[in-house]
Amino acid sequence: MWFANFFVAASSTMILPFLSLYIKTLGAHPDGFTEKWSGYVFGITFLMAFLVSPFWGRFGDKHGYKKILLITGSGIATSILLMSLVTSVYQLFFLRMVMGLVTGFIPTSLAMISAQTPKKAAGKVLGTLQMGTVSGGLFGPLLGGLLADHVGFTYTFFITSFVIFGAVCLVLAGVKERPLKVNRGQSAPYTRKQVLKTIIGNQPLITVMLLTAITQIGTFSIQPLLALYVGELHGTRHLAFFSGLAFSATGLGSLLSARKWGALGDRFGYGKILIILLLAAAVFFIPQGLTSSYHMFVIFRFLFGIALGGMIPCITAFIRVQAPGAIQGEVLGYNVSFRFLGNVIGPVLGGMISSHFGISSAFYVTAFLFFSGACLLLFQRSQAKKTEAKAS
Q: In order of start, what are the domains of the chain with their CATH numbers?
A: 2-175+189-391 (1.20.1250.20)
Q: What pLDDT is attached to residue 187?
A: 44
pLDDT tens digits, residue range 128-141?
A: 787 777 777 667 76
Task: Round to whole Å and give the CA distance between 53 and 80.
Answer: 20
Task: Round to whole Å and give the CA distance between 83 and 95.
Answer: 7
Contact assessment for residue 138 and residue 255, using Cβ atoms and an 8 Å cutoff: yes
Full-prediction pTM beyond 0.75?
Answer: no
Taking 80 as the threshold, does the pLDDT of residue 61 lie above it?
no
Q: What pLDDT is attached to residue 278?
A: 93
Q: Which residues of 81-97 are buried (b: 16+ CB within 10 A; e: fewer)?
A: bbbbebeebeebbbbbe
Long-range pairs, 29-32, Cβ under 8 A, ≥24: 29/89, 32/355
Q: What pLDDT is attached to residue 281?
A: 92
Interhelix angle for 33-63 vs 328-357, to 10°?
180
Task: Round to whole Å and give the CA distance between 167 and 200.
Answer: 36
Contact assessment for residue 252 and residue 120, using Cβ atoms and an 8 Å cutoff: no
Contact assessment for residue 61 and residue 340, using Cβ atoms and an 8 Å cutoff: no
